[in-house]
Amino acid sequence: MDGRVILAKVDCTQEADLCRRNHIQGYLSIRIFRKGSDLKDENAHHDHESYYGDRDTESLVKCIIYMGAQDMERQALNVFRMRLLGAEVRGVHSGTATLKDATSEAIRDWVTNVETTHYILGSVAGPHPYPMMVRDFHAVIGKETRKQAMEKWGGKPDVLVACVVGGSNVMGLFHEFVHDKEVRMIGVEAAGFGLESGKHAATLTKGDVGVLHGAMSYLLQDDDGQIVEPHSISAGLDYPGVGPEHSFLKDVGRAEYYSVTDEEALEAFKRVSRLEGIIPALETSHALAHLEKLCPTLPDGTRVVLNFSGRGDKDVQTAIKYLEV
């Protein structure tokens, strides 16, 4: 990476992923105007749910998290933290017992109890207006990036890189720069065992247009329109859809989308931990791994911003199974 200027925008702290805190604060503000409605959410990956528990303790609102049973095993630390902070975590055993099924169950609860419940969707997916709301909650990421780039470099970044599943953190980064055509925007998906293996979550790379959870977007589906089970070593990228705005950016050619395998992500997870002293989330590790492919293609002096969207302590249990340290 010699000659390139890499700046990691770190959106995580000891307490929670800051990229998640943005929409949590937004949702809780809305909740005030709804006079104390219960909060219902789906979860598979980020420890932003721990922050829900923390904020809910302060605001005295009931918080219920739906989480796939398989993801509860992979993210046992987060389950404990959420429950410790006062949230109720309900396991979902139907289907693949992952994020897709947790989302479906949360939506069922919401539409059944719509007068007393506020659904706090954690990504730029799902029915309108959620993709727009979450994007706007996260837009502060891009605004801060522009401001910080001007202060550090005296100009805009040349390339933006972030991981993609539903795509909230990356949409928060991209949205500020959509009309700056000279700024490349790159999203990185999960290639799992490889794009030709059938075991991946590269929706924008290999998917087709369909409807899931109230939104038309690219999906992993078979010839009959049935959802195909995705795979990623990262629970947070293990989803068969993507936010509709990402699909639009792909179709109009404004953003580029690539994919990284489990093996490549794990190597980046290990390398960045040792070089930088920061354990990245496995989601973030996919974006970090793509730098190995991207940087040799860039001219010297290229200013690259990578959105470091999450901490990896939640993924250590998974990494232990695959890495020798």
In a domain, 1, yes or no: no
Side-by-side strand order, sheet with 63-68 = 88-92, 63-68, 38-43, 117-119
Has residue 1 got a pLDDT over 90?
Answer: no
In a domain, 186, yes or no: yes
The predicted structure's pLDDT at residue 63: 84
Higher pLDDT, 72 or 41: 72
Indicate if 155 and 101 belong to the same structural domain.
no
In a domain, 63, yes or no: yes
Has residue 248 got a pLDDT over 80?
Answer: yes
User: Could you tell me what percent of the chain has a pLDDT over 90?
Assistant: 63
Name the residue among 91, 47, 41 with its Cα closest to residue 71. 91
Indicate if 105 and 235 belong to the same structural domain.
no
Q: Once rounded to an integer, what is the mean pLDDT over residues 3-19?
A: 58
Has residue 308 got a pLDDT over 70?
Answer: yes
Among candidate residues 61, 89, 120, the one where a domain is terminated: 120
Indicate if 103 and 240 belong to the same structural domain.
no
Q: Once rounded to an integer, what is the mean pLDDT over residues 136-162?
A: 94
Its domain, for residue 289, covers 129-321
In a domain, 2, yes or no: no
Indicate if 115 and 142 belong to the same structural domain.
no
Beta bridge partners of 280: 311
Indicate if 179 and 253 belong to the same structural domain.
yes
The predicted structure's pLDDT at residue 58: 47
In a domain, 133, yes or no: yes
The predicted structure's pLDDT at residue 236: 87
Indicate if 60 and 23 belong to the same structural domain.
yes
Instruction: Please tell me the pTM assigned to this model.
Output: 0.86
Out of 125-129, 238-242, 267-271, 309-313, least confident range = 309-313
Query: In which residue are the tokens 């990504």 written?
Result: 123
Supply 318's token pair.
């998974």
Among candidate residues 95, 120, 145, the one where a domain is terminated: 120
Considering the chain, what is the average pLDDT of its residues? 86
The predicted structure's pLDDT at residue 19: 52
Q: pLDDT band at 4, cuts 50/70/90?
A: low
Q: Number of structural domains, the chain?
A: 2
Distance between CA atoms of residues 138 and 295, nearest Å? 27
Has residue 222 got a pLDDT over 90?
Answer: yes
Query: In which residue are the tokens 């970044």 written?
Result: 157
DSSP tag of 299: P
Indicate if 276 and 171 belong to the same structural domain.
yes
The predicted structure's pLDDT at residue 120: 83
Q: Work out the number of other CB atoms within 10 angstroms of the CB of residue 275.
A: 8
Indicate if 79 and 136 belong to the same structural domain.
no
Among candidate residues 89, 120, 151, the one where a domain is terminated: 120
Distance between CA atoms of residues 265 and 322, nearest Å? 11
Indicate if 64 and 142 belong to the same structural domain.
no
- Per the CB < 8 A criterion, the answer to whether 264 and 190 are in contact is no
From the CA atom positions of the chain, what is the Rg in Å?
A: 19
Has residue 264 got a pLDDT over 50?
Answer: yes
Indicate if 145 and 96 belong to the same structural domain.
no
Has residue 238 got a pLDDT over 60?
Answer: yes
Indicate if 205 and 310 belong to the same structural domain.
yes
In a domain, 141, yes or no: yes
Name the residue among 312, 6, 309, 325 with its Cα closest to residue 153. 6
In a domain, 294, yes or no: yes
Distance between CA atoms of residues 30 and 103, nearest Å? 20
Dump the DSSP string for 219-247.
E-B-TTSPBPPP--SSGGG--S---HHHH
In a domain, 4, yes or no: no
Indicate if 186 and 276 belong to the same structural domain.
yes
The predicted structure's pLDDT at residue 53: 46
Supply 285's token pair.
């590790």
The predicted structure's pLDDT at residue 157: 96
- Per the CB < 8 A criterion, the answer to whether 244 and 125 are in contact is yes
CATH of the domain at 185: 3.40.50.1100
